A and B are shown apart, each in its own frame.
Chain A
Amino acid sequence: MRLELSSLLKVIGDWISSLGLPVWLVDLIEMCGAAAMVMGMAFLIILFLVWWERKLSGHFQQRLGPMRTGWHGWLQTIADGIKLFQKEDIIPKTVDRKVFYWAPVICFASSFAAFACLPWGKNLWPTDLNIGILYIFAITTFVVISLLMAGWSSNNKYALLGGMRSAAQIVSYEVPLTLSVLGVIVATQSLSMVAIVGAQEKVYNWFIFRQPLGFLIYLIAATAETNRAPFDIPEAEQELVAGFNIEYSGMKFAMFFMAEFLNLFLVSAVAVTLFLGGWHGPFLPSWLWFLLKAFFIVFVIIWFKWTYPRLRVDQLMEFCWKFLLPLAFLNLIVAGFLFR
């Protein structure tokens, strides 16, 4: 009854295998199909998120946000995309060309690769790695490398400062992030995302109720991971004039821009899977539950951005190492006792 997409996919899968193609070809097609679907889903989400953030920030500040392109400006992101696409992609002369060229690619690819093992709905996931959560955190640290590459290769003082700062920030917030997630893994005894979601059938055993401190630490560390508001030091416009992506323009800048929003959605999707019971929910189809919860977390993170001032670099580090980390350890110890 609940319009599950997974049954539809099973029908397509059976039809392909019934074509009598060799086994390896069938797997290949299925994998490419899954990848294509996730790619399409990711781009749709980016389009929606960019528009949504501009409308939300508008209404937070008592203005309307984009209104001119289509009804309430829903074509705005497409217009931005076209503009960035046809803009001249300037590569400054004094720039280390290869590193400069590959930095945005790595940034976008690493945050997109983590979409592979997100459980979008009931048996609706590209792959179910048994080391799901570890894979996601491992892949997303590539972003740090790309920021350093961008900062260093742009041969520009401000970009260098911005790159260094963002690398230091993401590396140091990686630690409380993983520790807060360990609390959940201790309870579910498994790294696989599907198993984690499986352990949260009923609402009362969602991990947000069993691990509230873990959820809070995760949320704070996640906003820091995506370089967004109170922690958006790398492109602190006032001090460093756009930080590491000063020299980028055209599609390269678009790649960084998209990577940021992909990261934002990824972080909230992982939060939903770990703490808000993934795709479990009463009436609506499972994938819709997953998207609604993810967009709620995205709303909270956007909400932070438009309310809080920015922390200074050393305060940000001290907050992480001297405040968030001990809290994460405490949370892990409590989780250890709780789920013996």
Chain B
Amino acid sequence: MALKQVQTTCPYCGAGCQIMFTVDADANKIVEAVPADGRTNEGTLCLKGHYGWDYLNDPQILTKRLRKPMIRKGGKKSPLVEVSWDEAISYVAEKLTEIKGKYGPDSIMGTGSARGAGNEANYLMQKFMRACIGTNNVDHCARI
């Protein structure tokens, strides 16, 4: 069993606590999570920080982890069908290009994410909306 340690920032709330994970690299599994000495948390964590990571192994308690791209091929209310990434990406690109061509860039809305995705993904999202789509219609859940 190859154990490694990874320090990261807690994904819950804006306190920015640091957590130290011990990971079994062979089994690709978290063995333990303990508070790390971060600037804001100083070696303490709340219940979400301590015990909020086991969703990663897809326990199927509440909802199912998404594993494959899916498209509703028969329109709204039709079932979702698993597709390849190539198909999903080109489908999205085609539909967005079509809508942009038909109704203009301001008919498309995009969101950032204040949650797990991180700053870089948010930067790319707004860059995509502004530079590629051509609209400032981008916002996120800060208001919510």
A complexed with B: no
